[in-house]
Amino acid sequence: MESMFEDDISILTQEALGPSEVWLDAPGDPSLGGDMCSASHFALITAYGDIKERLGGLERENATLRRRLKVYEIKYPLINDFGEEHSFSLYEIKDGSLLEVEKVSLQQRLNQFQHELQKNKEQEEQLGEMIQAYEKLCVEKSDLETELGEMRALVETHLRQICGLEQQLRQQQGLRDAAFSSLSPPPAPAPPCTDLDLHYLALRGGSSLSHGWPGPTPSVSELERRRLEEALEAAQGEARGAQLREEQLQAECERLQEELKQLQETRAQDLASNQSERDMAWVKRVGDDQVNLALAYTELTEELGRLRELSSLQGRILRTLLQEQARSGGPREDYALPAGLEVSGKLRVALNNHLLWSKFNQHQTEMIITKQGRRMFPFLSFTVAGLEPTSHYQMFVDVVLVDQHHWRYQSGKWVQCGKAEGSMPDSPNTGAHWMRQEVSFGKLKLTNNKGASNNATQMIVLQSLHKYQPRLHIVEVNDGEPEAACNSSNTHIFTFQETQFIAVTAYHNAEITQLKIDNNPFAKGFRENFES
């Protein structure tokens, strides 16, 4: 685009003119003035530059919108339920590689955030364990400090007792020394002894009276000294025991601190050795899952594209056939209708996927019904011709019992059931609308929940183990006429024998199961499992 703009500017600046060509409003042209030529030339260049800037702004805005579209298509998946599909844009098909690149980039960022979150969680767990160990050590340390304080208080008490006993012992020793150092009285005639003299002599233990009194006995001070010495030895023994207990507690505390340090070192080594291995294994597993998801998404997109092309081709062929018959005035009486084509008056209806229904009908088609509702496969897809373009028609499908017989598969029995109806969401509409494209009931679901008909649209209530025949109803209605006013004369019913099926809750015939897997584009995972 820049080169195109440059070429246009070169035309304006006379760079692209040949030597023989003449600029129309050149200054040398006598028909125009010099000022007028230069002003016209300048205005033209200015206007063209403005246009070029606007085009550049539009291109940038278009690129921004494309990036937003890619982000929205990645954020909101195009297939949200089993079998429910949305239209794929051409831009997504063209720029699929860019989408994959952005998807991989976003997934890498997500993996990085998840890895950091996992790492933070592990660090929090480690920190919690270390805090618990530290709290335990603090409790043990406080217990040891309490016991140590009690032992110290006991030692101080014993030391005070020892000091008191030693002081008493010194006092008694001083009194005894003072008593023995006093001089004895000289010999003299014995005066009459009074009680006081006898008491004094008994206390002093004089030798002059030894011949008339009993021998000396241990004094009170000696007994007290022995008692104090025994108490001192006992206190010293308790002090030595308390000191030994203190040394043992200190050794136990040091041992616990050493064990805590070894535990922390071992934990750090284990984390350092195993963290990288766990990270690599997790990254590899997530990467493999993403690759498998991308491959499955690509294969599903290709399968859906092929299915659309096939359905469109069948619709065009059948539409051409019906138009040729309409131009020729309808089929002759001796003309046998081809398979998959039904006629009612001027109306002609063709079953688009007739070949697929016939293949299933050879093995007696089975349809799964569930409480939530299961889509039909093969689904009902019709091409309609012969309608009045301006008239309004209502189209719907009902499912009726083929007969009242009991059907069985091996030893199973069948029970009685009723019927339900499914209507097109855009009914009623004009004949031109119905004939312009195929009439597909691809979203029609089968259920065995009798309360689903009042709460859900596109739902048909059936009963298990019964054989049913789908029928297409085309009812001509007047504009604004209620549906209840439709009479039977304006109703056309079309049935295709190959669309008969038996309602089941699980497949009984293995061949039907294999056909479903081979032809249903949404059974890609089952197809891969059967092949492996």
Model confidence at 131: pLDDT above 80: yes
Instruction: For residue 330, name the pLDDT band (cuts at 50, 70, 90).
Output: low
What's the pLDDT score for residue 348?
84
Q: For 314-325, what is each residue's pLDDT tens digit?
A: 777 777 777 776
Beta pairing class for 79-81 and 491-495: unpaired
According to the model, what pLDDT value does residue 208 have? 40
The reported pLDDT for the residue numbered 528 is: 57
Q: Where are the alpha helices (DSSP H) in 76-95?
A: 90-94
Question: Are 503 and 463 within 8 A, CB to CB?
Answer: yes
- Mean pLDDT confidence for 191-203: 40
Residues 532, 383 contacting (CB under 8 angstroms): no
Answer whether residue 473 shows pLDDT above 70: yes
Give the pLDDT of residue 282: 74
Q: Is the pLDDT of residue 213 over 80?
A: no
Query: DSSP for 423-489?
Result: E-TT-SEEHHHHHHS-EE-TT-EEE--TTSTTT-SSEEE--TTEEEEEEEEEEEE-TT--GGG--GG
Higher pLDDT, 92 or 523: 523
The arithmetic mean of pLDDT across residues 392-412, rounded, is 69
Say what the pLDDT of residue 361 is. 81
Question: Which pLDDT score, from 0 to 100, does residue 424 have?
Answer: 60
Task: Categorize the per-residue pLDDT at 342 as very low, low, confident or very high, splitting at 50, 70 and 90.
Answer: confident
pLDDT digits (tens, 9 = 90+) for 480-519: 555 544 455 678 888 888 888 888 888 888 888 888 888 8
Q: What is the mean pLDDT of residues 251-280?
A: 78
Say how many CA atoms lie within 13 Å of 276 toward its Cβ. Answer: 3
Mean pLDDT of 445-471: 76
Give the dihedral of Cα atoms 272, 274, 275, 278; nearest 10 deg. 170
Q: Which two tokens stand for residue 132?
A: 């618990």
Contact by Cβ (8 Å): 512, 366? yes
In 3-state terms, what secondary structure has residue 17? coil
Q: 315 Cβ partners below 8 Å, 6+ apart? A: 352, 381, 383, 437, 438
Residue 13 has pLDDT above 70, yes or no: no
Q: State the pLDDT confidence band at 155, using cuts at 50, 70 and 90.
A: confident
- Residue ranges per structural domain of the chain: 2-75, 90-181+219-329, 340-531
3-state secondary structure of 104: helix
Question: How much is the pLDDT for 251?
Answer: 85
pLDDT at position 202, please? 39
Residue 105 has pLDDT above 70, yes or no: yes
- The strand pair at 429-430 and 439-440 is best described as unpaired
Residues 325-347: what's their mean pLDDT? 67
What does the mean pLDDT of the chain come to?
Answer: 72
User: What is the arithmetic mean of pLDDT over 422-439?
Assistant: 76
Q: Return the bridge partners of 420, or none.
A: 399
Instruction: State residue 464's pLDDT score.
Output: 81
Class of domain 340-531 as given by CATH: mainly beta
Does 211 have pLDDT greater than 60?
no
How confident is the model over 104-131, as a mean pLDDT? 88
Residues in the chain: 532
**How, if at all, do strands 459-461 and 445-447 pair?**
parallel
pLDDT of residue 148: 86
C-alpha to C-alpha distance for 324 and 329, rounded to whole angstroms = 9
Structure confidence at residue 24 as a pLDDT band (50, 70, 90): very low
Q: What is the mean pLDDT of residues 326-333?
A: 59
Burial class (CB in 10 A: 0-12, 13-18, 19+), 474: buried
Please name the residue that has the structure tokens 């089993």. Answer: 82
Residue 80, pLDDT score = 47
Give the lowest-confidence range in 126-140, 217-231, 306-320. 217-231
Out of 38-52, 189-203, 384-398, 406-420, pick the least confident.
189-203
